[in-house]
C-alpha cells in the first residue's frame, strides 16, 4: 500500500529556489518511494528524521509509520546537509502544526 506524502512549507520554498530540473528530479524521486519508503530512506543519527538521497541533494523526511504518511520537510545540498539539520532539531514536529 502506498504511503501518503505531504510537503512542508519549507520544502516548497526551497524547491521554488532550485533549478527546475533539480526540483523535478526531487519531486519525481519523492513520488517514486511511496510504495516502499523503507527501501529508500536512511535513518538520521541524533535526529528523529530520515533522509532521501537525490543526486547531490538530501531531502529531510518525517515518517509517521502508523498513519503511513511521509512528510517532506526540506532539501539540502549534500555538502551543507548536517549543518542545516540543527535548525530543525528544536522545532521537530512544529512545522506541520500550521495545517
In 2-97, at which residue ranges do the beta strands (DSSP E only) sit? 4-7, 42-43, 50-54, 57-64, 69-77
Q: Are 23 and 15 in contact (CB under 8 A)?
A: yes
> How many other CB atoms are found less than 10 A from the CB of residue 68?
13
Write the CATH number of the domain with boundaries 4-95: 3.30.2310.20
Q: How far apart are CA 36 and CA 15, in angstroms?
A: 23
Kindly report the pTM of this predicted structure: 0.79
Q: pLDDT tens for the chain, 99 residues: list them.
A: 689 999 998 899 999 999 999 999 999 999 999 999 999 999 988 778 899 999 999 999 999 999 999 999 999 887 765 555 655 554 455 445 444
Amino acid at each position: 500500500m502506498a504511503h501518503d506524502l505531504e510537503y512542508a512549507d519549507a520544502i516548497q520554498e526551497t524547491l521554488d529556489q532550485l533549478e527546475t530540473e533539480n526540483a523535478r528530479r526531487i519531486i519525481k524521486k519523492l513520488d517514486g518511494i511511496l510504495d516502499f519508503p523503507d527501501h529508500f530512506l536512511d535513518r538520521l543519527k541524533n535526529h528523529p528524521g530520515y533522509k532521501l538521497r537525490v543526486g547531490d541533494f538530501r531531502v529531510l523526511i518525517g515518517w509517521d509509520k502508523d498513519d503511513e504518511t511521509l512528510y517532506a520537510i526540506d532539501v539540502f545540498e549534500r555538502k551543507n546537509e548536517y549543518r542545516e539539520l540543527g535548525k530543525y532539531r528544536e522545532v521537530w514536529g512544529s512545522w506541520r502544526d500550521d495545517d
